[in-house]
Homo-oligomer: A and B are copies of this chain.
Amino acid sequence: MFEAAELGHKLSKREYERQLPELRARLVQVQFALKQAKIPVIIIISGVDGAGKGDVVHRLNEWLDPRGVDIHAFWHETGEVRERPSYWHFWQALPPRGRIGLLFGSWYTEPVTQRVYGRIKEPELDAALQRIAWFEEMLAHDGALIIKLWFHLSKKALHERLSKLEKKPETHWRVLPTDWAHHKLYDKFIRVSERALRGTDSGHAPWRLVESTDERHRDFTAARLILEAIQNRLAHSAKQKVTPSRPAPKISITANGDRTILDRVDLNQSLTRDEYEEKLDKYQARLNRLAWAAYEIKIGSVIVFEGWDAAGKGSCIRRVTAAIDPRLFRVIPIAAPTDEERAHHYLWRFWRHVQPDGRVAIFDRSWYGRVLVERVESFARPEEWRRAFHEINDFEEQLVEHGTVISKFWIHISKDEQLRRFKEREAVPFKRHKITPEDWRNRQKWDAYKAATNDMVAHTSTEFAPWTLVSGEDKKFARIQILKTLCAHLEEAL
């Protein structure tokens, strides 16, 4: 593959200087246009170490308006990065709509390096590449323009370049010890990289090779490829075409609220006050110990609460937080997104709340809004919420792979019980604020929500993150069921 980037391309100084002003002018122009069009642009700078990727980043930063560019270099892993799933760092670096993220190093670095050093086998590399492909596809679906540049240098050219840099005192510092180590591994690196590029080349995120022997040619080509990609995107529809690599979920989507998985929840279960108090003490004490034990060995938890309006999410959450040391948990209430959140992919606002290892994140409503309220209220188009099942499973799988314990609760109540609680809320002065016209409107869509819930459970109750349907008619029973489940999940993980 890389032979195509060993053709001896050069750009004369004269030609470079002749063409540069126009190139630069155009770059700044399209940058302005994509700000207006609110397109997020992700530029990945990768390739052979020693090909001058750092210089390219410099050059691009000089030619673009730096006010619209965020440069992210993934090198030193800080504590906050190591204590979270690896993609957390990448999510933090994604540019908001209208801005350019220049990624120096990326999600490709780690899998390729690991494979070159023989620390992972081929199937593991392929799995990592598959994850990358899905990740990029998801971002493309969301409107991101992904420009992937690969800077190539033949082994011979690399050797010459490093030797030359090392000779001069003023450039000596630019050659890192790892550069020579990588030179030794060149052939292996090229083989692994070819596989990586082939496995992740797609219409919506194509790879572009840049021959890097001649510096002027390299920088000019990089800028030209970026310019063309942006121009092309601006000229065509705002939303690019993405060919999905995975079919939409196969399990048929529920049409109405008849006979769903929720109907199988036994709502007649209850506890007496005495039973409740005894069990509450028991499981809260156990959960307290388990949360500390998990903290000690750095196992984190993500707890998701979903359910009907007035199902008792808030009071269940309070019973959970009462058990756990306040230093260990954080409650994240999910309401309307802020404008910073709206400027990103819908999952971004959840990734940003991923806690460091050993902590407990409690989500009061969650990413499942995508397939519940956004589906029912048509805030998301059918292809968007259908796709979300895959996206959500990928997200949760990453958390689980990192060692996080996920517990997801849907608290179920009957429609009659909801009505009773709504009326009660309206009658009690200090509960009145908890009931809004929106709650009544949602209630009218009971069947649509029921169908959506059924699909949600069918598609996202995975072996690594199953749903727990909670019998919520009796609040006492629900609280104990949740505490007991959390204890069981943690015991299993410890």
Contacts and interface: CB of A to CB of B under 8 A. Distances in A.
A25 interface: yes
Interface string A15-41: 000000000111011001000000000
Interface string A297-332: 000000000000000001001100110011101110
A62 B339 CA distance: 30
A314 B338 CA distance: 29
A261 interface: no
A340 interface: yes
Contacts of A80: 78-80
A8 interface: no
A13 interface: no
A2 to B, nearest CB: 25
Nearest to A329: B71
A438 interface: no
A396 interface: no
A474 interface: no
A338 B340 CA distance: 7
Interface in A161-177: 170, 173
Given A61-B322, A67-B333, A71-B326, 17 more contacts: A26-B430, A29-B433, A54-B325, A58-B321, A58-B326, A61-B326, A62-B318, A66-B318, A66-B321, A66-B331, A67-B314, A73-B327, A78-B83, A79-B79, A79-B80, A173-B289, A338-B339
15 contacts: A25-B428, A29-B429, A32-B433, A54-B326, A58-B322, A61-B318, A61-B321, A66-B321, A67-B314, A67-B333, A71-B326, A73-B327, A76-B327, A78-B83, A79-B79
Interface of A: 24-26, 28-29, 32, 54, 57-58, 61-62, 65-71, 73, 75-76, 78-80, 83, 102, 104, 170, 173, 285, 289, 292, 314, 317-318, 321-322, 325-327, 329-331, 333, 338-340, 356, 364, 428-431, 433
